[in-house]
Chains A and B, each alone.
Chain A
């Protein structure tokens, strides 16, 4: 159980990043763009949170990075899900659904 707000947000951010990489490898800018678009501009991930999160996920082994060429012909670091990352994604998604349905139940009662 997350004990403070930052923990909750951090865990959620991990989930969002992993989800956005599920479709395929992308660089940091692309990931933030995907999250923005899918949430219809509701969630704007700050670069200050995005990149540390990417590095953390890489340290955990859930994503891996590779240098490649971006769409405007510049060198960019592309991230993609690893196998353990995929299973972690499934785990976190299940967790999220369990938690959000539990909260909904409580809210419905009040």
Chain B
């Protein structure tokens, strides 16, 4: 194009020369006649029709340069965006993973998970989680007995397939001579994988033939375990390994994304046929395995059938088998058919649901936190851009005067905003991954398993980040864009900054008030959780938790020889006591405050059972030195010791709560307790001692009635125990010695889950800690953003009111009065924000009231502290601009533009 124009000019000059003009004058005249080349070029480009692309490139380039010129603003804006988008992407990706996503199987919507519901307490032994339906007040449970499953399977017509499965934990696996403890495995019936409808990643699936008695023992490994343990070696197919001392052949690998159908976050490493349950030691102390309700049942609906049809068909056989189960345990038959449990079914596409339901509240709160952060981030950015828009009025005026259309200006500003959004979004992606990993790490261990979630960097995150990016870019880009373009040019060049305080700063102020409100909500949350943590830490748990080191041993995984296993435990404890630096060592069936429990029915000989149904007590089985190692004083009588092991379960120590509840405060020493369904445990127990109350499995609850037995065979057929070691100094220094000691007793015995007692107790409050930490960090960030925003707003306000201030000072106002005026303006904005925030916090904190301890969701001290903090921030943020205002020379101020 340039060349074309140049040629035209040359020819024109030649023509002029032809008329007798001098050469350089001709050229000059030619150039003048031509006109403004760039303007013509632009209009030609306009006409050419590919304008929008080149204009977009031009806009982007200019936007980039503009942003680079104010690095402070750009950095704040990009970081704020990255924070808001990153946190939300992480949280919602995890919400999808934990709450929403279905199992990666064929048609998960067709799967049904069965459970039963009962209005009365069912006196059958169950393994699994019980829940109380809040609506019907019935007890529900997903565990069924094996005979019940068989009966249902025979009768089934409405389902195309039905399968049973159950978790099995702490498997001792020996492969290639190396022993280790696999945290979680899953026992599955023969039809499991065909019901799920998945294909193996390698090898073959477990089938019905593997699940029959006498079949060669086969197993599948998870993809993760295959990678971790065997390095993805294909020769693992056909390899023989020992699982709980049973020789098993690995026949296949489960596909990568399939995590079994257990609780959310549980990912078993081994899949074994149900028929191997007994050999694996799953029925350690159950004398009648047919009476134990321990398997979960999932079925796949046939096409066209509904779940109610399936239930109608299957409920009678279930009830029949329930009746038989009651007979088996010797329980009295129910008074009516209505007392038998009813069969129900829910969606099975996500596997087991109980933990997910527990998590639901937690993740909903997190989602709320995330949305609050995003709202603060957007509000902050909007006010940042508003302020910038105000500061660029002159630039806009010049552009308008030079002929830019309003649409063009809007487009330019919008491009700047979108570029910011793009940069923020790009930064948000690695930030989101980091936050996601952090959030998963902060999740509490449930039932001893860590949450097995691998944060996936899948397209879902990218798309979410992009969507949020564009949305926030448009939302906060439009307002300043439209505002800034509505500029009166002449007023611009004449009046300057004097008359624009009106609606623009009102929007800025209301945005800031909203930010303040949200910040107050976060602050209140942080205060409540911090208070909860403090209260939890100050609970008297009844034993000395400092300086205790814990680890688990499972010397007899297949339950074959209890005697030798117990001997191993005792030997380890003895040798540990001899280690220099160890003050005392002991072991028990259950750790204290380890989120594990054993409950049993008990009665007192000579006293009638209570009719309020509280006939149960918590149980633990302890070795010698238990009470001294844990620091639980014996208030009366004596502790249980090694000699009692021989008497096996016919003596026990009870705690004070037990005495209060079962003896009504009478002296229990020497009295006899009675077990209702004793089985092969001694029926009568003599109380030999009373221990001080100690927390059992939860810090929040007061110590429950507890009975301590010596560690005898019926405690656990495989003598698995949690060891506790108290050292003179820091017990962690003893770890290598402890390992050596255990190895010296049995080199093949894996020492599992080494931790300190304090760490274990800390696990219990992991949720509260997570929320305290998150809300604390977020509220600090929010306060920082709010302070910046306030400072900016006040600075702008001072700038725009220069004339007014000058006038006031000229009329006799003292500097202090000017400072007061500005600070008041600041306090007003923050005051409104605090007011809104108090209302918002009052409503929002109800959601977390179940997590709090020792303080109510509307604790006035916390609310007041939050409000005062923000008002203080207001005063500080307003102080500096206010001082600047008070230092103005009135003459200068009055004459300012």
Contacts and interface: CB of A to CB of B under 8 A. Distances in A.
Interface of A: 27-29, 46-48, 51-56, 58-59, 70, 72, 74-77
Interface of B: 3-5, 7-8, 10-12, 14, 33-36, 39-40, 43-49
Contact of A29 (B8, B45, B47): B8
A29 B11 contact: yes
Contact of B7 (A54, A58, A75): A75
A55 B48 contact: yes
For the residues of B in contact with A, the DSSP-based class is: helix
A85 to B, nearest CB: 16
28 contacts: A27-B4, A27-B8, A29-B8, A29-B11, A29-B12, A46-B35, A47-B5, A47-B33, A48-B43, A51-B5, A51-B44, A52-B40, A52-B44, A52-B47, A54-B44, A55-B44, A55-B45, A55-B47, A55-B48, A56-B47, A58-B48, A59-B47, A59-B49, A70-B11, A72-B10, A74-B10, A75-B3, A76-B7
Contacts of B11: 29, 70, 72
Contacts of A52: 40, 43-44, 46-47
A70 B39 contact: no
Contacts of A53: 47
B34 A47 contact: yes
B35 A48 contact: yes
A91 to B, nearest CB: 20
Contacts of B47: 52-53, 55-56, 59
A27 B7 contact: yes
Given A47-B34, A52-B47, A76 B4 contact: yes
A26 to B, nearest CB: 12
A79 to B, nearest CB: 10
A20 B471 CA distance: 53
A59 B11 CA distance: 26
A72 B8 contact: no
Contacts of A48: 35-36, 39-40, 43
Nearest to A71: B11
Contacts of B46: 52
A20 B7 CA distance: 19
A29 B7 contact: yes
B35 A47 contact: yes
Given A29-B11, A51-B4, A59-B49, 14 more contacts: A27-B8, A28-B4, A47-B5, A51-B5, A51-B40, A52-B44, A54-B44, A72-B11, A74-B7, A75-B3, A75-B7, A76-B4, A76-B7, A77-B4
A47 B33 CA distance: 8
Closest 6 CB pairs of A and B: A56-B47, A52-B43, A55-B47, A29-B11, A55-B44, A29-B8
A33 to B, nearest CB: 8
Contacts of A77: 4
A76 B10 CA distance: 11
Contacts of A55: 44-45, 47-48
A75 B3 CA distance: 8
Contacts of A46: 35
Contacts of A29: 7-8, 11-12
Contacts of A75: 3, 7
A75 B424 CA distance: 48
B18 to A, nearest CB: 12
Given A52-B44, A55-B44, A59-B49, A47 B8 contact: yes
A73 to B, nearest CB: 11
Nearest to A32: B8
Nearest to A74: B7
Contacts of B48: 55, 58-59
A76 B47 CA distance: 20
Nearest to B35: A48
A52 B44 CA distance: 4
Contacts of A59: 47-49
Nearest to B34: A47
B38 to A, nearest CB: 11
Contacts of A51: 4-5, 40, 43-44
Contacts of B39: 48
B23 to A, nearest CB: 15
A67 to B, nearest CB: 9
A34 to B, nearest CB: 13
Nearest to A48: B35
B12 to A, nearest CB: 7
A44 to B, nearest CB: 9
A55 to B, nearest CB: 4
A58 B34 CA distance: 21
B296 to A, nearest CB: 71
A76 B8 CA distance: 9
A52 B39 CA distance: 10
Contacts of B43: 48, 51-52
B4 to A, nearest CB: 5
B8 A28 contact: yes
Contacts of A58: 48
A22 B36 CA distance: 29
Nearest to B43: A52
A56 B49 CA distance: 8
A77 B33 CA distance: 20
A51 B12 CA distance: 15
A56 B33 CA distance: 22
A108 B12 CA distance: 41
A63 to B, nearest CB: 12
Nearest to B42: A52
A48 B35 CA distance: 7
A73 B49 CA distance: 31
A32 B7 CA distance: 13
A55 B40 CA distance: 11
A48 B41 CA distance: 9
B99 to A, nearest CB: 55
A47 B7 contact: no
A51 B36 CA distance: 12
Given A55-B48, A56-B47, A59-B49, A47 B40 contact: yes
Contacts of B3: 75
